[in-house]
Structure 1
Amino acid sequence: MLNLPSLPYYRWLVFGVTATGTFMATLDSSIVNVALPRISTTLDSSLPLVQWVVSAYLLTISCLLPLFGRLGDMLGRRSVYTTGFLIFTLGSLLCGLAGHIALLITARVIQAVGAAMLMANASAIVAATFPSSSRGQALGMVGTIVALGSLTGPSVGGVLVDLFGWESIFYVNLPIGLLGFAASQIILPREARQTGEAFDYPGAILFAAGMTCFLLSIIHGEDLGWLSKTVITLFIAAVVLLTLFIRHEKRAPFPMIDLSLFKIWAFWSGNAAGLISFMALFSNTMLLPFYLTTILHLSPSQVGLLMTPFPLLMALLAPVSGYLSDRINPAFLSTAGLSVTTLGLLSLTLLGEHSSLWEIAFSQATLGLGNALFQSPNNNSVMSSVPPEKLGIASGFNSLVRNIGQVSGIAISVSIFENRQAAALAGFTQPDAAQQVAAFLSGYHTALFAGALFAAIGAALSFVRRTELAAKN
C-alpha cells in the first residue's frame, strides 16, 4: 500500500485539500450577494429578511471559529476538518432545496457550521505540515486562496444565477465537498488527541453570545442608527458578555481561548494589523462596484473585469512574499504591503466622473500588490509565533479577525458614504444629475480616505512590530 507521507510532494497534497475547503468556505461568504434579488423574488421575501441569508452565515462562522479551533487542538484537526466538509455539503444541499426563506436561512446556518470547521483548522494543518523553511510560502498561498474565494464570488455567482438559477450557487458545492471529504480522509495526517482536557462550555456560550451582539450592532448600525436604543443595547450587551468571557477564561482550567497567546507580541500585533487591513480593503470592495455602476455606467461584466487586477496580482505575488517571509523579517514586508495599500486607496479618492478605466485598473493592481505583500508574511508571523499544540486556536482566531474586519470595514465605509452624500444633498429639494454625482463622489472619496487612514495606521503598527522584532533578533 502506498505510504503517502513518504512522498516528496506529500505536503502539497495536504495543502491542496486545505485549499479546497478554504476556497469553498470563503467563496460562499460572497457568492450569495448577487443572488439576493432573485432569491427575494422567487421566495417572495422582503430585502431586510433576505439579507439574513448573508448575515446568518457570517454570524455563525464568527461565533464558532475559536470553538472549532479549540476542538481541533483537542480532538485532532483532521477529524474536525473532514467533518466540516460533510456538514458544509449537507448545508449546501439543503440551501438548494429550500422552498421558503426561513428554511434557506436555517440551511445557511448549517452550511456555516461546516465552513467554520474548515476555516478554523486549514491554516493550522498547513502550519503543522510545512517546516519553518517553507511555511511562509504555504501560508502565503493560503492567503491567496482566501482572497480569490472572497473576490471571485460575485462574478462566479452572477454567471451561475443567470444560467442555472439561484439554487445552482449551492449545488455547485456538492461534488467539490464530497471529493474534498474523500481526499481529506485519505491524505490528511492523523494526530494524537489531547487527553485530560475538558471543553470550556461556559466560555463558548459567553463568547458566542457576546460576538453575536457585537456583530449585530455593527450590521444594523447604519439602517437603525448608530445611536438608536437597539444598537446601543446590543453594543453594551456585547461589552458585558465579552468582559465576562475574558474573566471566565482567566480562571478556567482549560480555556477555549488561551489568553496567554496575547502576551506574544507577534501574535496580537499581527492579528491587530490583519483586522485593520481588512477594514481598509473592504471599503474598496463594497463601494467600488457602486462607483463603476452609478457614475461610469458600466455593465456587470465590465465591473468584474475592472476588479480582476486585485485577485490576479494577489494570486501571482502572495506566494512570492510568503517565500520571502521565510528568509527576512515578515514585519518588514507587512509594513511595505500596508504602505502600498494606503497609496492604492488614496488613488481611489482621485477618481471622478470621467476617470479612465486604466486609472481604475491601476488602483486595483496597486491594492492587489499591497495585499499580497502584507497577508502572507503577516499570516506567517502569527502562525509561527504560537506553540504547535495551539495552532488550531491561533488559526481560528486569525480567521475570526478577518471576518470582523470585513464586517466592520463594510459598515464603517457605508455609514461614512451615506452620511457625506446626505450632507452634500441637504441644501437641495430636487437635486439635478450633476448635484447627485457630486454628492456621490463626496461620500465615496471620504469613505475611501477613511480606508486609507486605516491602512496607514496598520502600516505604523507593522513598522513598530518590525523594529521590536529586529531588536529581539
Structure 2
Amino acid sequence: MFDNIKNSPNYRWYVLATVAVGTFMATLDGSIVNVALPTISHQLNSNLSTLQWVVTAYLLTITSLLPVFGRLADLMGRKKVFGYGFLVFILGSALCGLAQNIWFLVATRVVQALGAAMLMSNSPAIITAIFPPKERGKALGLTGTVVALGSLTGPALGGILIKLAGWRSIFYINVPIGLLGFAAVLLVLPKDVPNKEKEPFDYLGALSFTLGMIFLLLGITNGEDWGWSSIPVLMSIIIGIILLILFILTERKVTHPMINLSLFRNRPFLIGNLAGGLSFIAMFANNMILPFYLQGVLNYDPAQAGMLLMIFPITMAIAAPISGNASDKFGPVFLTTTGLTITGVGLLYFSTLSASASFYHIIPGAILTGLGAGMFQSPNNSSVMSSVPPQKLGVAGGINSLVRNLGMVIGIAWSVSLFDALGGVATPNPSQIDAFMSAYHYVMLVAMAIALTAAVISFNRKSYAKAQ
C-alpha cells in the first residue's frame, strides 16, 4: 500500500499532508496554552510573573533553535530530524501533562519546544524539495493555511478540552496525534540522501547564535515589565548583541558555517526575509492591542471578541492558497507588494475606529489585514525558499521561520511600549478611554507605516526564481 503511495502521481501531496500534521501541532501548541493559564495558575498555585514563563520559555526555545535544527537537517537528513521532532514533541507534551508544579511545567515546555523547532524548521525545506517550482507557491500557501488554522483552533479547542477533561488534556492530546504523525514520517516521507561531503557541524556558531538569541529575546520580551532601562534588560540585550556579533565573526571564518552569510547576498532571499519580518512586526502590533480594545473599550464578552478575532485567520486561510497558486503563474512581486499595501490599508482603517464602534464596524479591518497577510505570505515564502540551492533548504527554512517569530516578538514589544508611553491603559476606566483610543490610533498609524515600508522593499526584489 505504502509503495503505491510513493509511486502515486499525487505522492508530493501525501508528503505535504504529513508535514502539515507537524506544522499544525507546533502552531496549535503556541496558542492553545494561553486559554489554560488561569486554570493552571489556580491549580499549581502560581503567580502571573512566574506563569508567563510557560509561554515565554516555549517561544524563546523555538526562536533560538530554528536555524540550528535547519542546519542539522541539511547535514543529517530532513526526514530524520523531522521524525525526531515528533518524538521529542510527544515526550515534552506527555511530561507537560504530568506537571505537579509550575517550574516542572516550564522545563517540560522547553522539551516540547525543542520538538516544535525540529518540526517548524524543516517543514518549508521538505515541501520545497518535493514540489516543482510551478506548484511550490500553492503548496507553501496551503502550509500557510495550516499555520492560520493552528492559531485559530488553539483557543477554541483548548477551551473545550479544559471544560471536558481539565487543563492537562491540552498536552495529552498531542500524544496520539504525534504518534500518527511519526508513523506517517516513517511510511510517507522520502528517504534522506546522504551528505557525501561529510561537512562538520559548526558547534561554536550554533552555541553563540542560540545563547545570543535567548539573551536578546529575554531582554526584548521583558523590557516592558522590568523596565527598558533596568539592569537585567540592558544586560540581556547587550550580552545578546555581543554573542550575535561573535556568531557573525565565527561564521565568516569557519569553512562550513552553521548559516552561510552569503545567503544574504542573494537578493530574493534578503528582500523576502526583510519584508516578511516587517510584515509580522506590523501585524502583531494590532494582534496584541485589538483584544483590549474589544473587551476594555467596547465591553464585548470573550465570546464576541473571539468571533471578531477569528475573522483574520479565516480570511488568511482562504487567501493564502489562492495567492500561492497565483504566484506560481505570475511571480511574487505584484502579490507580495499588493498584500502588504492591503495590510497597511487595514491598519489605517483600525486607526479610524471610535470608542463607540459597532460590531460590524470592526469586520472590514479584520478582513483587510487577513487578506493582506494571506496574499503576502505564500508568494513571499515561495520566493525565499526557491532562491537557495537544495543543500541549503533546511537552514533557509529555519531562517525564514526565525524571522517570523522575531517579527512577532518585536511587534508585541514595540507596540505595547509605545502604547504605554502614550498613556494607554490595558483595562481603561471611563475617564481613560480617550487616552486609550489616542494611543491605539497612533500605534496603528506607525504599524501602517511599517507595512507600507515592507511593501516598498518587497517591490524591489526584482529577480526571483520563476516557475518552470
Please confirm whether the aligned pair reaches a TM-score higher than 0.5, indicating the same fold. yes
Please state whether the residue corresponding to 1:55 is helix, strand or coil. Answer: helix
- Which residue is 2:53 aligned to? 52
Please state whether the residue corresponding to 1:354 is helix, strand or coil. Answer: coil
**Structure 1 residues 70 and 243, CA gap change in structure 2 (3 angstroms):** same
- Which residue is 2:437 aligned to? 441
Coordinate RMSD, CA, aligned: 1.7
Are 2:342 and 2:371, in contact at CA under 8 Å, matched by a contact in 1? Answer: yes
Please state whether the residue corresponding to 2:118 is helix, strand or coil. Answer: helix
Please state whether the residue corresponding to 1:44 is helix, strand or coil. Answer: coil
Structure 2 Cα separation of the partners of residues 306 and 194 of structure 1: 49
Are 2:64 and 2:210, in contact at CA under 8 Å, matched by a contact in 1? Answer: yes
> Are positions 1:339 and 2:356 aligned together?
no
- Which residue is 2:366 aligned to? 364
Please state whether the residue corresponding to 1:335 is helix, strand or coil. Answer: helix
What are the within-5 Å matches in structure 2 for residues 154-165 of structure 1? 154-165=155-166
- Which residue is 2:458 aligned to? 462
Are 1:67 and 1:256, in contact at CA under 8 Å, matched by a contact in 2? Answer: yes
Structure 2 Cα separation of the partners of residues 359 and 415 of structure 1: 27
- Which residue is 1:236 aligned to? 238
- Which residue is 1:29 aligned to? 30
Please state whether the residue corresponding to 1:45 is helix, strand or coil. Answer: coil
Please state whether the residue corresponding to 1:421 is helix, strand or coil. Answer: coil
Report the AA paired with residue 330 of structure 1.
Answer: P
- Which residue is 1:428 aligned to? none
The structure 1 segments of at least 4 consecutive aligned residues displaced by more than 3 Å after TM superposition are: 431-434
- Which residue is 1:222 aligned to? 224
- Which residue is 1:421 aligned to? 423
What are the within-5 Å matches in structure 2 for residues 92-241 of structure 1? 92-195=93-196, 196-241=198-243
- Which residue is 2:289 aligned to? 287
**How big is the shift at 1:432?**
9.4
Q: How many residues align?
A: 463
**Structure 1 residues 41 and 129, CA gap change in structure 2 (3 angstroms):** same
**5+ long unaligned stretches in structure 2:** none
Are 1:307 and 1:361, in contact at CA under 8 Å, matched by a contact in 2? Answer: no
- Which residue is 1:269 aligned to? 271
Report the AA paired with residue 67 of structure 1.
Answer: V
Report the AA paired with residue 274 of structure 1.
Answer: G
- Which residue is 1:70 aligned to? 71
Please state whether the residue corresponding to 2:32 is helix, strand or coil. Answer: coil
Structure 2 Cα separation of the partners of residues 138 and 92 of structure 1: 28
Structure 2 Cα separation of the partners of residues 175 and 303 of structure 1: 32
**How big is the shift at 1:389?**
0.7
Are 2:148 and 2:314, in contact at CA under 8 Å, matched by a contact in 1? Answer: no
Are 2:333 and 2:461, in contact at CA under 8 Å, matched by a contact in 1? Answer: yes
Structure 2 Cα separation of the partners of residues 233 and 43 of structure 1: 31
**How big is the shift at 1:433?**
4.1
**How big is the shift at 1:287?**
1.2
Please state whether the residue corresponding to 2:423 is helix, strand or coil. Answer: helix
- Which residue is 2:307 aligned to? 305
Determine what percentage of the aligned residue pairs are the same residue. Answer: 53
- Which residue is 2:412 aligned to? 410
- Which residue is 2:447 aligned to? 451
Structure 2 Cα separation of the partners of residues 214 and 279 of structure 1: 16
Are 2:73 and 2:122, in contact at CA under 8 Å, matched by a contact in 1? Answer: yes
Structure 2 Cα separation of the partners of residues 51 and 436 of structure 1: 27
**Structure 1 residues 432 and 83, CA gap change in structure 2 (3 angstroms):** closer
- Which residue is 2:326 aligned to? 324
**How big is the shift at 1:27?**
1.3
Are 1:87 and 1:113, in contact at CA under 8 Å, matched by a contact in 2? Answer: yes
**How big is the shift at 1:469?**
5.8
Please give the per-residue CA displacement for 1:415-462, whole angstroms capped at 9, x wherever unaligned: 11122125x99xxxxx99432111221222222222212111111111
- Which residue is 2:395 aligned to? 393
Please give the per-residue CA displacement for 1:366-423, whole angstroms capped at 9, x wherever unaligned: 111101110000000000000011100000110111111111111111111122125x
Are 1:333 and 1:373, in contact at CA under 8 Å, matched by a contact in 2? Answer: yes
Please give the per-residue CA displacement for 1:252-297, whole angstroms capped at 9, x wherever unaligned: 1111111111110000110011111111111121111111111111
Report the AA paired with residue 413 of structure 1.
Answer: S
Report the AA paired with residue 277 of structure 1.
Answer: S
Structure 2 Cα separation of the partners of residues 281 and 52 of structure 1: 23
Report the AA paired with residue 214 of structure 1.
Answer: L
**How big is the shift at 1:353?**
1.7
Report the AA paired with residue 31 of structure 1.
Answer: I
Structure 2 Cα separation of the partners of residues 386 and 104 of structure 1: 39
Please state whether the residue corresponding to 2:100 is helix, strand or coil. Answer: coil
Please state whether the residue corresponding to 2:183 is helix, strand or coil. Answer: helix
Structure 2 Cα separation of the partners of residues 433 and 263 of structure 1: 51
Structure 2 Cα separation of the partners of residues 398 and 182 of structure 1: 27
